[in-house]
Structure formats: structure tokens, C-alpha cells
Amino acid sequence: MSAHAHHTGLTLRHSAVLIHRYAGLFMAAFLIVIGLTGSIIVFNSELTHWLDPPPQVGAQNAAVLDGLVLRDRAQALYPTASFNYVNLHVAKDQAFLTPAEPRIDPATKQPFDLGFEALYLDPYTGRELGRVQSGGNWPITRHNIVPLINRLHYALALPDSWGLWLFGIVAVIWTLDCVVSVYLTFPTRLQRSAATGSESAGRSWLGRWWRPSWLVKWRGSPFRINFDLHRAGGLWLWLLLAVFAWSGVGFNLSDQFYTPVMHALFGMPDVYGNGVPALPNPHTDPATPWEEIRETARREVQSRSLALNFRVLGEEGLYYQPDKGLFTYLVRSDRDVTSEGGGSVLLLDDRGRPLGFSLPTGQNVGATLNTWLFALHTAEVWGMPFRLFVALMGILVSGFSITGVYIWWKKRRARTHRQRISVKNSIHFQGSHS
């Protein structure tokens, strides 16, 4: 190994150290919030049912109404609202939840003030049972605490899109830092002895990586134990940390960053129509009735199932985007990786013309990776054991940030102390020779 190559390697490593240090300091507070809130929202469903349970529906020996019929009932109750997502899997003896979006008041050109974000309907009659009114961030009540924790997790509960952009940038930096941090655990290359031409150390590269980087020296000083926990813990959990970081980019900066990169690297299709341009004037109501759109979607998915050899297990939902005039039809299939399903996606315009279809796994490498990334991030696979593990991971993410700041602080104190001693020695030397 030449002296020039050795110097270049040291320079690269020093640059990586600086990147990791200042990226970690910038992200620390954000990752502590993300980690701790992530540990909580793994149990979103249980917390919501405990703190803000939905209205009770008595058991009935009758058939539930179709999801689109329930949507029509909600629309008739509140004509100033748009109900753009319909759950097509209506459960018996459970209140039917339908999200609401305000329409634009033609007089003021501003959205109507609905006073609610979603409705609960009786699945048998369509009668209104209650409303979801999480409200703002303050005062904290049992109605808004779970939504507030969710907003803190993905946007720091900031208004408009500021929080989404901020946490999206944090996720991009975190992803890049995952690459830098694993590089810093690699052992430095040793110079060869000029006399023998052999490595100055007998251990292999893998051996020199394993013992100092993957293990904790429990008999070391408190600083050494803290440093080893930071490095070894990050290595053992590196893959899942990288999954959380990159999928975080997908949640917050899908159109701007995640989807273009996944398409360029893995050929991932535009699963949810993110690349479909917005219309000059939004179509508040689609050109084709919802019922016709669903029938077209059913026929199209059935045809695709025969061509692509997958089995449809049930309908999940139908979602309309007025700003793009775009329908998204979701079905459960035997290609899903989660128990909830809904990963098979058909896109149609509001005239019922199919625009694209994507299976969650087995059709495209990029789509398969995308499915697994989000399923792991949201702990929707492998049941309660993995949910508990993800909750623990959130705590560990916060811990890595805290230990990283502690390492920086201790090293900074040591550098400052050495500089003071150096200055004192220099003054003393000059005084003794004056």
C-alpha cells in the first residue's frame, strides 16, 4: 500500500468522521422524538380503542350495507363534505368509519368548516353514530392525544407541510449517515512492512472488524462502554435502522425523492399515481359514478389475476383524488405480506380507464422492496412479537442519539482540555526563554 493511498484513505475516513459527527448532532433531537413516539404508535389501534373508543354497535342478525351505499348516506348527511375514501370491507357489529374532507365554498373560495374529520356510521342503517374531532394540538385530551403523537412522529406536529419537509430531510440525512456509519466501523488498512512486505498485524480484515466493532468491552471505562454500545448496537441493528430511515423518506418525500430513486435503482412502478400530474381544475366529483368505477375495477383486477396468476381474497378500499381525477382501487390478494392486505393496487382515471396495476410482491423488484420496507416500518408483519421489537427499536434509536451526543461531548471536552494544557505549556516555555 503506497503512502499516497494510505494518506487518501485517512483523509476519506476523517471526512466520514466529520459527516457522521455533525449529521448525528443535527439529527439527535429529531431522532429522539421519532424513536420515542414510534415506540408508542406501534400500538395505535389499542391506544385509540382505550382512550377514544368508537361508538358501540349492537350485534344484529342482518347484512351490513355496502361500503359505497354507506358513503352515499354520509354524503347525503353532509353535502359540504367530500368522502373520498371508502372502506369496501365493511365489518359486522363495528361502527363504519369514513374520513371527510371539506369542499370549497363557492361564495368564499375557502374550504367549509366541517367541525369534524371523519364520521362513524351504523353499518346496518347508515345512521350517524359519532364524529372524529381530534382538534388541534392543545389542550391535550383523550380525543387528540393519539393523533398528536402520530403528528409528532412524522411532522413534529408543525402546521402545513413544514414538518413533513423537515422530517423528510432528516430521513434523507439519516439514510446517508447509515452508509457513513457502517463504513466507520471498518478497520483501517494497515501499511505493509517495508522489510517483509507483510501486514504488520497477523489478523485478517474480518477478524480486525469483528472484535472491536461488533462486541462490547464491558470491563472498559464508562466512556469505552458507551462508545462500544453506540457502535456495536448500531451494527447489530444496522439493517433495520436503514429500513426505518429510507422508508421514512418514503413517508415524507415520496414524490420528491423516494419514488424517483426507487424507480431508478429498482424499476419500481408509480404504485399510487404520485407521478400523475394535477389537473388545472380539480374534479370534486368524478365524471363516472363510484359504482361504475368499482365494477370496471373488479373486471380489470379479475382479468389481471388470470394473466399474472394471483388470487384475489377480497376488496379493501376505493380512494379518489380530486386534484388528479384519479381512483385507486385496493384489494387483498395472496401476494400480500400483511394480514391487513390491500397491497394490490389498480389506478383508474375518473372516466374508468385503467392507468396501471401493481402487485405488492412477485411482480416487480422495486414494488416488492417497497412493500417490505413499509410493512417493517409500521410493524404490520409477524404479529405482536415484531411489534414489541419495533417498540424496543424506537427506544434504541433514541438511545443511539443520546450516546452519540455523549461521545461528542466527552471528546470535545478532552480536546478542549488538551488545548488548554498546550497553551499553558507554550506560555511557560516562552517565559522560561525570555
Give the DSSP per-residue string, 201-230.
Answer: S-S-HHHHHHHHHHS--TTS-HHHHHHHHH
pLDDT at 413: 81
Q: Once rounded to an integer, what is the mean pLDDT over residues 210-232?
A: 82
Residues 6 or more apart in contact with residue 117 via CB below 8 angstroms: 99, 100, 131, 132, 133, 134
Q: Once rounded to an integer, what is the mean pLDDT over residues 78-97?
A: 95
Q: Which residue has the higher pLDDT, 123 or 207?
A: 123
Q: Which of 76-80, 109-113, 430-434 shows the highest mean pLDDT?
A: 76-80
Q: Once rounded to an integer, what is the mean pLDDT over residues 222-240?
A: 87
Q: Is the pLDDT of residue 201 over 80?
A: no
Rounded-to-integer distance, Cα 348 and Cα 353, Å: 5
The residues facing 98 across adjacent strands are: 119
pLDDT band with cut points at 50, 70 and 90 for residue 211: confident
Yes or no: say if 9 and 17 are a contact pair by the CB < 8 Å rule. no
pLDDT at 41: 95
Round the average pLDDT of the chain to a whole number and report it.
88
Rounded-to-integer distance, Cα 363 and Cα 309, Å: 10
Closest CA to 387 of 44, 54, 52: 44
Q: Is the pLDDT of residue 321 over 90?
A: yes
Torsion of CA 164, 170, 172, 176, to 10 degrees: -170
Q: What is the strand order of the sheet 96-99 is part of?
A: 96-99, 118-121, 128-132
Residue 184: C-alpha distances to residues 178, 204, 235, 413 (Å): 10, 17, 11, 22
Rounded-to-integer distance, Cα 138 and Cα 187, Å: 50
- Is residue 7 classed exposed, middle or buried when 0-12, 13-18 and 19+ CB atoms within 10 A define those classes? exposed
DSSP character for 116? -
pLDDT at 138: 75
Q: Once rounded to an integer, what is the mean pLDDT over residues 422-427?
A: 61
Task: Return the amino acid letter for 248.
Answer: G
